[in-house]
Structure 1
């Protein structure tokens, strides 16, 4: 793998599906998995095979379907989990077992009622066992965000010795500040013996709204895989949004980092996931929200009409959106009205625009948004309509 390439590990079908009420059936999962493969994701986390017969069936079916991406199954550090995952993944062209255990003081003391040394031994044994089934084994250190860096480094060394190819460093609770998370990745890059044998992966949650920022800091400091979901769906406040990290890296070429994602598919896949899971995507969602390329302020509209880049850093077509939206409201100016009027067949002179604009403002004060039908009505009821009709 190129040192400038950041692998995209999509967990929409596993972590994303853990949102209450968002259960997908196998057929829906297969449709999304095929689209993810076409999108260019490097890894598809297809599910948690031991959790239910349905999840096992879905992981197995996805393994048969996917042509290009690695197909991954999640497990705990439990032999039966790992054995079942290996069985579910047996048809995958590129299988990966994702196993791990909590490493923070809180998890060790209260969740496992164990010790650091015991947890490290369990981690080593789980990776070693997974390695007996597949070559590609990813280890997750759950709650790594709140794990002491020195101990975390020792755990990473142990699982690399056991054969781990990827080290997942999750900010499970979304607690870290970007500077803290970036420093943690940097510490591991500099202090884990054998780190060159594995890829560090960022798996960040959005409890404080920092998942995307943390993931970007992670790859800036040496991580080369980001774990994310379409639309940022996932447990509690969600996960890192795939579309956000992909476009951030693409819009900042000075970072010299990029992905294999076909970005023009992002909007369509966002819509598919939203509809399949019944999750409403907020209009102001970055990249794929309904308002991501919509402009209603007169000043902004005038700038975008003259030169799109004035207020848009991304070309809508690059993410699969047809064009920017000029939304007419009481805050819109003459340029926006002329632009939209031309779209529906009226070429207005400056004097005609002045006449129609006054009527438009009266109309706009009574409605949140002016539609194309409204534009026809405004113009047809104006004094300039006869002039336009005779042209």
Structure 2
């Protein structure tokens, strides 16, 4: 197996970089946390392992090169000097995406075109080719990102974003991405021996992610990744990391996870999604409204992503739901409650000020995670 070390980054949404850094540390890596990404180093096996195990990141990328560039000539020559033949075979397809922030080279289409041309020139030179390259083989997506004239060129190993676990058979009207759902669970104090409740479960994503965390199931276990088709990746690596993940899963861990929703159609979708994830047995789903929730259990965790203005319902119905939550959850003194919404007036309707708020992004939408910590046990 090739033991070459690659410079890698795990990209992620703003606000969860620290969580991704923690995940990577727990997997055994030294990390450098930056805005929207975490840097680390690893071999082929580490590329496979992090794609399989990262719950909150968006993608795992190889850093091909970093340099300053103030002119198009400089960008072309420095890009061409990188060892592209070590990554892309002669027939590889290499689409180039780009972005430019506060840089002299601000025209993104020109930057993309030039980088694509520089890569093609390098590959043609190495393989002694003339004319167009075939680009009929596997895909090698390149991104060139300029910030203040600093150029970072990366190669995406993931393909479809890491949030695509492969279990969502159907979505509701305003779905929460799986990696954000995992982040919501990770930001709580929940442990698998405590009750977990999602009272507005929609298509079941938060409960399913909690069950995967509780059973230590690798989130990418049931999907494929783009770099599995690459010549530079040893297929035995993937067999190895999947076998290791299977060994680490704790299917005997008993979980107490309840997910309910007022909409029976959503409960049917949530059940189907849980079955697709192989977790139908681990989660109890019910059609129920928040007002009817009662429990004698102690020291549980409630995580909710209720409808809010920009999402589904009219504001009057949403505010009524927030009031109900405040009334129903108030007696649960030793439970901790975590609610994600973009409604900055949430606390007013809920009737209680949060212990802590955390800014998170649901796609492009700014939201706040209102946290109410229960008594410790």
- Give the structure-1-normalised TM-score: 0.32
TM-score by length of 2: 0.33
- Higher helix proportion (structure 1 or 2): 1
Higher Rg of the two aligned structures = 1
The higher-RCO structure (CA 8 Å, 6+ apart) is 2
